Chain A
């Protein structure tokens, strides 16, 4: 396959999925066991419900009274307090902290469209969905970087798709 013919379906990776009934703990466990920094959330019909990244996890753990208005106080938060904050959120349902409208593309869209959606939403991954809005893949920074690297004949790119 030539570089110019690379399509979304050629580069997307398999999505790691949890149901919308999952908890914070379930999401963290899924991320760790699948060696991924993002998880797709689906509803009972398997349709896309949202997406969670590590950033979303951090935002859920760190109270807004520190993160929003008072980053200075973060310097003084002890390990015990941090541990308590993590414990507090472990049973929070994923619906509370997931991004409910992640950027999406279909396999008929172009890589450029995917790149633009990633830029405009300021998220580093784009979910690939089918006609029924069920997730079938994910484009992350890695894949998009690889495509750019392929075009530039950069060393170390993944083998041909």
Chain B
């Protein structure tokens, strides 16, 4: 690789990116607005100093990532109104007959499973009230259930390409197909789920051994009454099933994951109500998140063009070559602790070109990608601010008058994060043997 020259474009793009990311991390201003402004400033500076044209900027925007997110958002927006999530939650709870430990396991598995394919935040937003309502009926503490659901949502998100926005970014950059992602990440996520549940059982031994009351009230609930839009559910669920199947056979049919996601979105909109203006569905699309991604693509695209990321990659390339496994473990653990306190999407966007450059320098990057995936994924439940799903769980606990305090969260979330990272480290040790 050529030596990087620290010239004016290098400095200007670094300053713009550093300022933008610094303000985003401080959380004093909304991240999307800051990122958007940062991207525009980068584009203007790029033209003024002739290092980054408008064409360059637009070329950096990964439409596949945006397409996959957009399609997924539409399917979830339609599905979440049907009551299916709540139906599954109540059904699961009834199977446990109100036993607090089994309730945690059941709802934990449910949240984990849903989060493999659906948005983490939506999953927690819809399943957590089920946990609270049932906990209140049974007169048990909802806190272990809520924390468990948020953590399981994060862990589930690690398990598939579409489970978590950073996975989509990393998966595309590393050319990891849905199947490859599933084969490598799902077993690790599942092992993390089991380990975390056992840990939660220890931490909440007292709460989980409390005898529930009013079990008959729980058993009297009719889960089907939660499905308020049965016709839409009957349409959306099969479409979702088809989409998941297509994800699994994507290699055979040669369809990109983004196209599969958009197929699902188009089918849902067409089959549910082709005559109605879909503005109500579109109102739920997280345009803010899509714009945030787009802005980050532009900012880091400029850093790549000016050689900043090359420079950063060169700082670690020799260490990476000497001890690939240690480098991957460091990336995972450091990525997790950083993600626990700051947004993991910019971290993923920043690390992707660095790892790509390491690859160009002859460093085998296979294991590094997995390290990054596990790191940014598991860091999400280290602190209450590590993930939007955590914030939802905390907010709902406060609304219920049983707040999950910072102390409670750190005790549980950090312990779970460390356990998951230990599982991840073991996975990296195994992967190191056969992944290049």
Contacts and interface: CB of A to CB of B under 8 A. Distances in A.
Contacts of A72: 83, 86, 226, 228
B399 A76 contact: no
A65 B399 contact: yes
Interface stretch (B122-130, B168-176, B320-328): B122-130
Interface stretch (B30-38, B132-140, B340-348): B132-140
B137 A78 contact: yes
A63 interface: yes
Interface residues of A, number: 16
B396 interface: yes
A69 B399 contact: no
Chain A contact residues: helix, strand, loop or mixed = helix
B400 interface: yes
Contact of A73 (B129, B217, B399, B401): B129
B269 interface: no
Contacts of A75: 225-226
Contacts of B132: 63, 65
B136 A76 contact: no
B221 interface: yes
A78 B129 contact: no
Nearest to A69: B125
A2 B91 CA distance: 65
A64 B399 contact: yes
B90 interface: yes
A98 to B, nearest CB: 19
A76 B87 CA distance: 11
A54 interface: no
Contacts of B136: 81, 84
B226 A76 contact: yes
Given A63-B399, A69-B125, A70-B126, A76 B83 contact: no
Given A75-B225, A76-B226, A88-B401, A66 B129 contact: yes
Nearest to A62: B399
Given A72-B228, A75-B226, A81 B137 contact: yes
